[in-house]
Amino acid sequence: MRELAIEIGVRALLFGVFVFTEFLDPFQRVIQPEEIWLYKNPLVQSDNIPTRLMFAISFLTPLAVICVVKIIRRTDKTEIKEAFLVAFSGLGFTTFYLAGKLHCFTESGRGKSWRLCAAILPLYCAMMIALSRMCDYKHHWQDSFVGGVIGLIFAYICYRQHYPPLANTACHKPYVSLRVPPSLKKDERPTADSAPSLPPEGITEGPV
């Protein structure tokens, strides 16, 4: 319980730092006269995907997917705890999560296209959001590309903190579920009563 409280506290602190930096004064970049043509874009009155909706999709989609998977498969309580800890990792994490749950890269899941399509659907939505930011002249393609690569790297790092590799046969289970409880380890230790009895020294079995 203490580790869970510390984990939630650290993530709340990181989220607070994110909110604080969002309201800082932006850096004013000096644009040279020869590159003004690159920034002469038309002003778009209404965005294809509003900024608030974009953040809501990125933040709430992983939590919704994990909860739906829990309801369908009735996973254990440890996984729902992990869900609340990793829910804010974005659509890239959702793709890795679904790929692990559906065993897209294991022997039991290879060759089944519907599993792969279901897994990359969140990544496709993330790509559509990035394209909409370029269509609205909010970002250049370089910004969206580099941001997507960085997002995927951090999403995979967050995923591997809680789940095995996607090629592992147990990739659908979090590390917390794969740990053997200490109580079970104690129960498995052989006791004096359960230990195999050896014949006393000097006594042999069978006819003398």
pLDDT value at position 203? 45
Q: Is residue 163 part of a domain?
A: yes
Q: What's the first-to-final CA gap in the chain, in angstroms?
A: 63
Nearest CA to 41 among 50, 51, 49, 31? 31
Q: Which residue has the tokens 């604080």?
A: 20
Residue 55 lies in a domain: yes
- The reported pLDDT for the residue numbered 37 is 82
Share of the chain above pLDDT 70, in %: 78
pLDDT tops 80 at residue 30:
yes
Which range, of 23-32, 53-62, 146-155, 193-202, averages the lowest pLDDT?
193-202
- Whether 65 is in a domain gets the answer yes
pTM of the model: 0.65
- The answer as to whether 37 is a domain residue is no
Q: Which residue has the tokens 């147990």?
A: 170
Q: Report pLDDT for 13.
A: 95
User: Which pLDDT score, from 0 to 100, does residue 162 have?
Assistant: 86
Three-state secondary-structure class, residue 132:
helix
Give the mean pLDDT of the chain. 78
Q: Cα 13 to chain center, whole Å?
A: 19
**45 lies in some domain:** no
pLDDT in tens, 139-168: 888 888 888 888 889 889 988 988 899 999
Q: In this structure, what DSSP letter does residue 33 have?
A: G
**Residues 171/164, Cβ–Cβ less than 8 Å:** yes
Phi/psi of residue 101, each to 5°?
A: -65, -35
* Overall average pLDDT of the 118-144 stretch: 86
pLDDT bin (cut points 50, 70, 90) of residue 16 is very high
Cβ atoms of residues 174 and 70 within 8 Å: no
In the numeric block, which tokens belong to residue 119?
């897994």
> What residues contact residue 11 under an 8 Å CB cut-off, 6+ apart?
85, 88
Q: Does 17 have pLDDT greater than 80?
A: yes
Number of domains the chain contains: 1
Asked, for residue 24, whether it belongs to a domain, the answer is no
The predicted pLDDT at position 195 comes to 46
Residue 81: how many other CB atoms lie within 10 Å? 14
> What does DSSP assign to residue 38?
G
Reply yes or no on whether the pLDDT at 128 is more than 70. yes
pLDDT at 96: 92
| Any domain includes 188 | no
Q: How many whole angstroms separate alpha carbon 104 and alpha carbon 39?
A: 42
Provide the domain limits for residue 116. Answer: 50-175
Does residue 203 sit within a domain?
Answer: no
